[in-house]
Amino acid sequence: MSDLSRLTATELVAGYRGGEFSPVEVVRAVLARIEETEHAVNAFVRVHGEEALEQARASEDRWRRGEPAGLVDGVPVTVKDILLLRGAPTLRGSRTAPTTGEFPEDAPSVARLREHGAVFAGKTTTPEYGWKGVTDSPLSGVTGNPYDPARTAGGSSGGSAAAVALGCGPLSLGTDGGGSVRIPAAFSGIFALKPTYGRVPLYPASAFGTLAHVGPMTRDAADAALMMDVISGPDPRDWSQLAPSQGEFTQQLDGGLSGLRIAFSPDFGGQVEVQPEVAAAVRRAVERLEDLGAHVEERDPGFADPVAAFHTLWFSGAARVTQGLSEEQRALLDPGLREICEEGARHSALDYLAAVDVRMDLGRRMGAFHRDWDLLVTPTLPLTAFEGGVEVPPGSGLTRWTGWTPFTYPFNLTQQPAASVPVGLDAAGLPIGLQLVAARHEDALVLRAAHALYAAGAAGVPESTAL
């Protein structure tokens, strides 16, 4: 039964269709896996055991009748506790959030999954309001790495990444405002996509504005494409959503890489110090891209680190999200969050608009870059997972999480699609991630390239090394 918890969503749907196993069997296996691993990793804020089994029984009946509700009927899904899930509180990692009420709404991505018959196994951990690149909070404590629970799973979608890596549901919904699906995917050995902004509708709007994307966190690129076919459906509550995508993402996976022009930037032109094992693993994967028919050259995107502009936008958003809290509530916040809120509150409108100017210039530069290059490849992160419960690696001299995530947040500023693909383990058995970036609206191309790496055996990490 435990083997069922290790199957991908694509494999589960095929098994349901062929009558090999049932949604109830799968959900029981997933719930058993949660019970087995949760004490060590702490990936969940809330587990929906009875509700999930009830949803699985309804799915089983639909499959028995040959009338599945949609593309992921009976597939266990987890949801980062930033997104609304009907019938459950959304605590956002904060002791200031209301815990009682009716909670009548699903977020758009959750609503689309529900319409397609997904089974909701639970809500996953997040740092408070998703503010940092690791997952710990005053509400739920520290979320550990599935390959070494003493280390961080990354963040801010760390609970989702750990859940997928450990077999606690093959699909998870995360959010990404500066790397928050890609960072934990890299640390936890899974796949994650930050789609083009607006491709997946979001409601309520994030206080971090148009930096924040919703994206799939999955076992491989094929599952992410399946999930995108579901969650990119329109929702009138998001006024900034894009028009429907052209064609199904799953139907565009197998185009191969022949003739693609790929720029490989190993360190952003010497701006980033990358751990040697990370650099070597990423370079090996890039060589496989070339073997698969892509034209690869070392080329840097040619921009200076936009971290100051990102901080202005990010810290201002944090100040906004906590603006209505009382002094008593503020005392309950993560101390690091309080610090950036205080800094954000000091920014003027002119400061904010100056940061927007930097953002627009960066977007223009990347638009020009992608006239020559179909894809940009970088390490997802310059390092592997470090000690849990801290914002920055001990002894690094860094002060904020952005100091060790220089490859991720620039592409939130530009709203481009970007994915993290696992490309092996370091000597300590910790996962390493490679990042694929494409021009805005080219989400299918990112998925296609990632799928080619999986198909060639150049992506993924050994499951036996996780808990």
Selecting among 5, 180, 206, 420, the annotated active-site residue is 180
The band of 1, judged by pLDDT with boundaries at 50, 70 and 90, is very low
What's the rounded mean pLDDT across residues 405-418? 98
For the chain, percent of residues with pLDDT exceeding 70: 99
What's the rounded mean pLDDT across residues 55-77? 98
Domain span at residue 293 reads: 2-465
- Average confidence score pLDDT of the chain: 97
What's the rounded mean pLDDT across residues 252-275? 97
Give the integer Cα–Cα distance in Å for 228 and 199.
9
Q: pLDDT tens across 95-118, in order?
A: 999 999 999 999 999 999 999 999
pLDDT of residue 56: 98
Question: Which residues neighbour 57 within 8 Å (Cβ) at sequence distance 6 or greater?
Answer: 23, 24
For the chain, percent of residues with pLDDT exceeding 90: 97
Q: pLDDT tens across 330-362, in order?
A: 999 999 999 999 999 999 999 999 999 999 999
Q: pLDDT tens across 383-399, in order?
A: 999 999 999 999 999 99
Q: E strands along 290-381, which residues? A: 295-298, 375-379
DSSP 22-75: -HHHHHHHHHHHHHHHHHHH--EEEE-HHHHHHHHHHHHHHHHHT---STTTT-
Stated pTM of the model? 0.98
SS3 298: strand
pLDDT of residue 467: 85
Residue 2 has pLDDT above 60, yes or no: no
Residue 44 has pLDDT above 80, yes or no: yes
Q: What is the CATH number of the domain that holds 382?
A: 3.90.1300.10
What's the rounded mean pLDDT across residues 207-225? 97
pLDDT of residue 462: 81
pLDDT of residue 464: 66
The question of whether 80 is a catalytic residue gets the answer: yes
The question of whether 22 is a catalytic residue gets the answer: no
Count the domains in the chain.
Answer: 1
* Secondary structure tally for the chain: helices H, strands E: 14, 15
Confirm if 147 and 188 have CB atoms less than 8 A apart.
yes
Amino acid at 119: V
Selecting among 22, 140, 156, 160, the annotated active-site residue is 156
Neighbours of 53 (CB within 10 A): 17
Selecting among 5, 22, 59, 80, the annotated active-site residue is 80
What's the rounded mean pLDDT across residues 437-463? 96
- The first and second tokens of residue 279, run together, are 């650099």
The question of whether 180 is a catalytic residue gets the answer: yes
Give the integer Cα–Cα distance in Å for 181 and 381.
12
pLDDT of residue 217: 99
Residue 188 has pLDDT above 50, yes or no: yes
**Alpha carbon 171 to chain centroid, angstroms:** 11
